[in-house]
Chains A and B, each alone.
Chain A
Amino acid sequence: MGVFSFNYLLRRLLVFFLTIWVAATLIFIIPRLAPGDPIGAMIARMSRQEGFVENADLIIEAWRKRFGLDDPLYVQYFRFIGNTLRLDLGYSLANFPAKVSELVGRALPWTIGLVGIATAIFFTVGNLCGALLAWRRTPRLLKIMIPISMTFTSVPPALFSLLLVYIFGFLLPIFPQVGAYGRGMVPEFTLEFFGSVLYHGFLPAMSIVLVTFGFWALGMRGMMVTIEGEDYMILAQAKGLKPFYVLYRYMIRNAILPQMTALAVSIGTLVNGSVLVEIMFTYNGMGSLIYSGIANQDFGLIQGTSFILIVTSALAVLIIDLTYPLIDPRISLEGR
């Protein structure tokens, strides 16, 4: 167990806060790039929806106050950053009296749960498959089966989820097509509800896992091959250590380290994919929230949800980076 070196910690924290600042700044700038002032653009879009917008004047009032368009730009900017950092994300246009932060608070746990569990599965299964592919003692049958199971690697999760829904939700209705839990159920801590969540989450999680674990298997295999040529492997074999012990303690233990770094790098892509998968399944997480924002021209909702998801991703990366020195003590010694 190493202690974090100061430089390592500082760098990671810097990246974390910089990411949040960049995200907030982008979300401040982007609406101002649109022709006209942002509220004008929003009203134009709202009126294009034809239907009557409830509480329209209240909404416009709230937005005017929030944007404070009469103030100079830098005042607007600092107020916006201040509000955003306090997680005051303003109101949702479509569900007006509701604040964006309330909606996000309800949706975020579902997304974290889905992505977290899917990540745990594909990381474990992928690395295990990769290790077995490179290991000499793996049964021949497995060495044939694993590459076949990796056929769908790199297909976008959202497209793969369409195929899964069609086959397992429509042709053979084994799994539900939509939602995160049974219709008419109330979220509560009962076994029944928990079972329903797992049942509904199976296809969405699988559409992420089945197209992703192959990447990790390939990466792991590459690392294992490199490690097999190392001198300490020859020593381990010469010492007569049990093959399984060598696989676990010598090969996987060393090969898993770059995989952790790769996981931190791939969080962004992972979130991109799961947002779309949620939309395909109408899973009530952040993805569906963004989608309803797009459908209702609800800019506050789109921006707030995106911002919180970016912060969550940055946090996940930070956590992985901070656990890394615990797994690889060399990091804390090198000081970087």
Chain B
Amino acid sequence: MAEQSKDAAVAGGTKKAGLLNRFDNPWLNWKFLSGASIMGFIFFLIFLGNQFWDTELALAGSSPLNMPPLGFTNWRDQEGIPEHPLGTENSGRDMLALLIVGTPRTIGVGFIAATVGMGVGIFLGFLAGFVGGLVDDVIRLATDVTITIPSLLVLIVIQSVLPYIDLVTMALLISMFAWATPTRYIRAQVLSMRESGYVQMARLSGVPTRDIMYREIMPNLLPYLAASYIGNMTGAILSAVGLELLGFGPQRIPSLGVSIFFSIEAAALLRNMWWWWGIPTVILAIVFIALLLINLGLDEIANPRLRKAN
């Protein structure tokens, strides 16, 4: 018994030590870790904000108008006040409350759209890669056509005709275009894995196709899928921000893109109200850079050749 547990401990120990102490562990990738920490930090700030800041201040008319951030003055020489540390915009919304409420909305649209798109992409990608023939041809054609069409244009046409659209509907509309890139990518990966030794072996051993797909290929694809998912999310947030910059999106409690749209409409640039458009812009930029870092890190984790190049 003691022997056994010692053995197990040694086995477990080496495994654990191997994972944690070795500096060449692929998951100790600085791009992945820094990107993930930035995103984590943003979510932490949103959480803190929801706990300690009055999010009702994101409603119009809840605060004095056009106040600058603390330590700055606006064009009427008003000083920033501690009640509104990041200033307010011209319909009396507190910028800090706007950021706390708006940031998760924008990221959330990307999350929903990317999840739906990815799910469809995994299904169609495996289907095309495994079934082949006519099914593959049809899926490939549909993918090529969908990728060619600039999605924003169709989304604009839809939104201009439909009346008010909530964020979930917007996310689902975006996901109509978010499936194509993952499908194409996963199909290519499946095709190349299908010919690899271990899949051939499994097939010769009589493993059913479904098990080959989900038990043999899927685990090996996971890092690729993760990288592709993050890439997809970036694309979906990009579409969402694009639509929001055109004024489509929640108006009462704006998301980040919509508040930038409001600021452009109100010529905030010329009035030098940089905090109005500038802070949401910088936050969105940081989110995009963090997602890219995660994506690149996952790419390197999945592909040893890229790692070697550093």
Chain A interface residues (CB < 8 Å from chain B): 14-15, 18-19, 22-23, 26-27, 30-31, 33-35, 38, 41, 134, 151-156, 158-160, 162-163, 165-166, 170, 177, 218, 221-222, 225-226, 229, 265, 267-269, 271-273, 275-276, 279-280, 290-291, 293-294, 297, 299, 302-303, 306, 309-310, 313-314, 317
Contacts and interface: CB of A to CB of B under 8 A. Distances in A.
A165 B269 contact: yes
A293 B247 CA distance: 13
B152 A272 contact: yes
B148 A15 contact: yes
Contacts of A290: 153, 156
Interface in B284-310: 284-285, 288-289, 291-292, 296, 303, 305-306, 308-309
A226 B150 contact: no
Contacts of A306: 153-154, 156-157
A267 B278 contact: no
B289 to A, nearest CB: 6
Most buried by B among A27, A154, A160: A154
A19 B309 CA distance: 39
Contact of A15 (B141, B247, B260, B278): B141
B247 A303 contact: no
24 contacts: A14-B141, A18-B141, A22-B149, A155-B289, A159-B260, A162-B269, A162-B277, A162-B281, A166-B274, A222-B303, A229-B305, A265-B184, A271-B152, A272-B242, A273-B242, A290-B156, A293-B160, A294-B246, A297-B160, A302-B156, A302-B160, A306-B157, A310-B154, A317-B148
A176 B247 CA distance: 25
A158 B242 contact: yes
Most buried by B among A15, A33, A160: A15
B245 to A, nearest CB: 6
B280 to A, nearest CB: 9
Contacts of B270: 170
A313 B241 CA distance: 21
Nearest to A16: B148
A19 B281 contact: no
Interface residues of B, number: 50
B157 A30 contact: yes
B148 A156 contact: no
A26 B160 CA distance: 14
Contacts of A218: 296
Nearest to A313: B150
Nearest to A150: B292
A303 B145 CA distance: 19
Nearest to B234: A154
A279 B245 CA distance: 9
Contact of A33 (B149, B154, B161, B274): B161
Contacts of A19: 145, 148-149
A160 to B, nearest CB: 7
Contacts of A34: 161-163
Most buried by B among A18, A152, A272, A310: A272
Most buried by B among A18, A23, A156: A156
9 closest A-B pairs (Cβ-Cβ)?
A306-B153, A272-B152, A154-B292, A271-B150, A225-B309, A268-B150, A155-B285, A15-B144, A34-B161
B20 interface: no
Contacts of B65: none
Given A268-B147, A306-B156, 18 more contacts: A30-B157, A34-B161, A41-B161, A155-B285, A159-B241, A159-B260, A159-B281, A170-B270, A268-B148, A269-B150, A271-B153, A272-B239, A272-B242, A276-B242, A290-B153, A291-B246, A310-B148, A313-B150
Nearest to A44: B163
A162 B149 contact: no
B158 interface: yes
Given A156-B242, A276-B245, A226 B151 contact: no
A151 B247 CA distance: 28
Nearest to B264: A280
B148 A313 contact: yes
B161 A272 contact: no
B149 A268 contact: yes
A18 B145 contact: yes
A303 B288 contact: no
Contacts of A153: 289, 292
Contacts of A291: 246
Contact of B308 (A156, A177, A225): A225
B42 interface: no
Contacts of B284: 155-156, 159
B238 interface: yes
A152 B282 CA distance: 11
B249 interface: no
Given A162-B260, A166-B269, A225-B306, A309 B150 contact: yes
Interface in B249-293: 260, 264, 269-270, 272, 274, 277-278, 281, 284-285, 288-289, 291-292
B102 interface: no
B235 interface: yes
Contact of B289 (A22, A35, A154): A154
Contacts of B141: 14-15, 18
B269 A170 contact: yes
B288 A155 contact: yes
Contacts of B269: 162, 165-166, 170, 177
Contacts of A38: 161
Contacts of A303: 157
A302 B157 contact: yes
Nearest to B291: A154
Contacts of A156: 238, 241-242, 284, 288
